[in-house]
Structure formats: C-alpha cells, structure tokens
Amino acid sequence: MAIQTILKMGDARLLRVAQPVDEFDTPELHALVQDLLDTMQDAKGAGLAAPQIGVDLRVVIFGSGQVNPRYPEAPVIAQTVLINPELEPIGQEMASGWEGCLSVPGLRGLVPRHLALRYRGWDVKGALIDRTVEGFHARVVQHECDHLDGVLYPMRIKDFTQFGYTEVLFPGLDAQAKDD
Ligand code: NI
C-alpha cells in the first residue's frame, strides 16, 4: 500500500495503550499490515508496531526472513504479523542487549529483557500463533509488544551509561541502515 511516516518519541500517540483488533481478515486490517510491512522494509527495521504509524491497534510485525544489516550477527526471524499478542515469560532469567527503535532514531541503549518467553496471538486472517522463543527473537517480540502499551525502550534502560548515539557506540555499523 504505502510507506507511512514513523512517529518519533515525544509524540503522545506513542504513549497510548492500543486497542485490541476485534475483526480479522478485513480489507482495513490487510491494508494496515501492508503499510507496516512497506514502512518497516523502507526503514530496514527489525520490527514495527501499529502505534508507530499512528494507528491505535494491537498489531505488530517483525522479522524479514533474512539477515538484518543492523543486526548482522542475529538469527534470522521469519516474517511475522502478530495481532492482540499475549506474552508469558519463561523463568526469571533476564538478559541485556542493545536495542534501537525507529521512533528513537540515531540512538542505542542496553536493555534488560526476559531471556525466554512464550507468545500467542493471531495472524491477519485470525489463525493462532503460539511460539516459545529465546534470545534475540524474544527480545524483538518484547520490544514490539511494549509499543502496544505505550512503552519505548529508553523507559526500560537501567544503566544510562549504556545509552548513546549509534554512530559513536558502533562506528562500524552500516551507515545506510536505520534503526528498528
Ligand atoms: Ni521500537
């Protein structure tokens, strides 16, 4: 459909608790998902949530099925559309990892997340998705689903000495690629 403008931190629409989707496989929902896919692909993001393009619904996408230049060491995640997600952490273990966000351009921060979790939700046609994941995949899901509750990753940072400009923290990183 179309590449949409990505809202940046400071926009109140990023702070809302988004509304659940109550009807699947509609033209409007398909159009929203296509907009998210087009916008994420254009921005070379690892994921994107509907609130980031100003849509107040519990829809996230992540994964591209190929290596992301922002995270060349990260495992490939299949392209996923996840609607009305529910997250259930597995165990108590937390892990810290670097995150960026298309709504917080130019910055990276070290964010603690649950190492492993089970997530459930629905795809665009209303089919159940039920996965148990860990590591980078679990981190991406937590980051994207936080957007549905008005939470941006800087709010999760515990050590602000580990927060800064990507070009300073990671001078070797692909300058053409943007944040996720
Ligand atoms: Ni984000």
State the pLDDT at residue 86. 98
Residues 43, 102: contact at Cβ < 8 Å?
A: yes
- Residue from 73, 86, 88, 144 carrying the catalytic annotation: 144
- Could you write out the DSSP letters of every residue in 42-66? HHT-SEEEGGGGT--BSEEEE--SS
Distance 101 CA to ligand 1 centre (A): 4
Distance 100 CA to ligand 1 centre (A): 7
144 is catalytic: yes
pLDDT at 178 over 50: no
In a domain, 26, yes or no: yes
State the pLDDT at residue 126. 98
Q: Cα dihedral angle (85, 89, 95, 97), rounded to 10 degrees?
A: 0
State the pLDDT at residue 73. 76
Residues 57, 35: contact at Cβ < 8 Å?
A: no
Distance 93 CA to ligand 1 centre (A): 22
Q: Nearest Cα to 48, choosing from 121, 148, 136?
A: 148
In a domain, 62, yes or no: yes
Domain span holding position 43: 12-94+115-151
16 C-beta neighbours (distance < 10 Å), count: 13
CATH number at residue 51: 3.90.45.10
Q: In total, how many domains does the chain have?
A: 1
Q: Nearest Cα to 53, choosing from 107, 11, 100?
A: 11
Distance 147 CA to ligand 1 centre (A): 7
pLDDT at 179 over 70: no
Tell me how far apart the alpha carbons of residues 116 and 95 are, in angstroms, rounded to a whole number: 9
